[in-house]
């Protein structure tokens, strides 16, 4: 009798050992779902409302855009990247001349730094915050011609439309590269003044060629604020492609 009970318990234990383990028996996936148009949700609206009211001032129209501009509309350049780099180059060069009596040679920013698109028509400060949300400020470095070559190599291998101004590159299919800076032939023995952001100067996006420059100027100018001021001073802004950086096939 005792033995039988033992067997029974043992059997029960074994039974529960083999059967109690829970396992995944099936996984069902589906297409990722679009989140769109919805009915109201008062509970959440109540939370958002006071915050939304505070940023409402950003909805004021500050200018007009002639077209729809994006960072992704070409290969090694883009309408939005060209527009932004050109404005920053122009505005900050004026400042550089005034404060240091020096002139910029070219500007380089990063593809990943441009987050939104600029829609045709009204431009608000809110749009600019979406395009360039960062705290980044203008930084100017003087680097050697050798470092400029590293920079060109970086653009080549990254193969992204990093925004630039004053810099023209033709990557040819026979492995030679034509470089012009401010419309003049690049000279490897010269040093160049390059405008970028503090983030990139500190090695952001692996732009290591900006580290330990010959000269360094950290300007107290937020890049987004420079863009906003410029747009406010113009009637309409226009972005375009001009083959400043191209790869021949």
Partner 1 sequence: MKRRHFLKKIKFSSIYGLTLPYFINDDYFDNSLKKITILHTNDVHSHIDPFPKNDPLNPNGGGVIARANLINLIKKDNPHTLVLDAGDVFQGTPYFNFFGGELELKLMSKMGYNASTLGNHEFDNGMEKLSKVLKHANFSFLNSNYTLKNTPLENKIKSHEIFNINGIKIGVFGLGIELEGLVEKKLYKGVKYLNPIEISKDISDDLKYNHNCDLIICLSHLGFSYSKDKNIMCDLILAKQTKNIDLIIGGHTHTFLDEPIKVKNLENKDVIINQVGCFGINLGKIDFYFSENKKHQEGMSIDV
15-23, 94-102, 183-191, 209-217 -> range binding partner 1 (CB under 8 A): 15-23
- Residues near 140 by Cβ (< 8 Å), separated by ≥ 6? 92, 96, 104, 193, 194, 195, 196, 215, 216, 217, 219
SS3 248: coil
Q: Binding residue for partner 1 (CB under 8 A) from 94, 159, 218, 243?
A: 159
Give yes or no for residue 29 binding partner 1 (CB under 8 A). yes
Give yes or no for residue 30 binding partner 1 (CB under 8 A). yes
Task: For residue 80, count other CB atoms closer than 10 A to its CB.
Answer: 22
Q: Closest approach of Cβ 95 to partner 1, in Å? A: 23
Whether 177 and 125 have beta carbons less than 8 Å apart is answered as: no
Q: Binding residue for partner 1 (CB under 8 A) from 24, 98, 173, 176?
A: 24
User: How far apart (Å, rounded) are the C-alpha atoms in residues 141 and 211?
Assistant: 9
Site residues (CB under 8 A) for partner 1, limited to 57-96: 58, 68
Nearer to partner 1, 30 or 101 (CB): 30
Give yes or no for residue 53 binding partner 1 (CB under 8 A). no
* Nearest to 236, CA basis, from 67, 22, 19: 67
Nearer to partner 1, 9 or 208 (CB): 208
Site residues (CB under 8 A) for partner 1, limited to 101-130: 115, 117, 119, 125-126, 129-130
User: How far apart (Å, rounded) are the C-alpha atoms in residues 220 and 217?
Assistant: 10
* Nearest to 138, CA basis, from 68, 81, 193: 193
| Residues that bind partner 1 in the complex, under the rule CB under 8 A | 18-41, 43-45, 47-48, 51-52, 54-55, 58, 68, 115, 117, 119, 125-126, 129-130, 133-135, 157-159, 198-199, 202-206
């Amino acid at each position: 009798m005792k033995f039988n009970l033992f067997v029974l318990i043992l059997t029960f234990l074994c039974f529960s050992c083999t059967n109690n383990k829970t396992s995944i028996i099936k996984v069902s996936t589906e297409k990722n779902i679009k989140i769109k148009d919805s009915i109201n949700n008062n509970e959440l609206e109540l939370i958002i409302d006071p915050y939304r009211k505070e940023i409402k001032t950003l909805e004021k129209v500050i200018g007009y855009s002639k077209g729809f501009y994006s960072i992704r509309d070409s290969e090694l350049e883009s309408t939005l990247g060209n527009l932004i780099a050109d404005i920053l180059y122009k505005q900050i060069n004026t400042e550089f001349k005034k404060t240091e009596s020096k002139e910029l040679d070219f500007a380089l920013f990063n593809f990943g730094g441009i987050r939104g698109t600029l829609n045709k028509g009204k431009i608000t400060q809110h749009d600019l915050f979406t395009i360039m949300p960062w705290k980044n400020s203008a930084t100017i470095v003087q680097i050697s011609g050798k470092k400029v070559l590293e920079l060109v190599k970086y653009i080549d291998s990254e193969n992204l439309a990093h925004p630039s101004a004053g810099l023209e590159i033709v990557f040819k299919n026979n492995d030679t590269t034509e470089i012009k800076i401010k419309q003049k032939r690049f000279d490897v023995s010269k040093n160049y003044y390059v405008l970028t952001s503090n983030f990139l100067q500190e090695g952001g996006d692996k732009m290591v060629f900006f580290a330990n420059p010959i000269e360094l100027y950290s300007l107290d100018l937020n890049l987004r604020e420079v863009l906003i001021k410029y747009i406010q001073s113009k009637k309409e802004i226009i972005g375009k492609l001009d083959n400043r950086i191209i790869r021949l096939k």
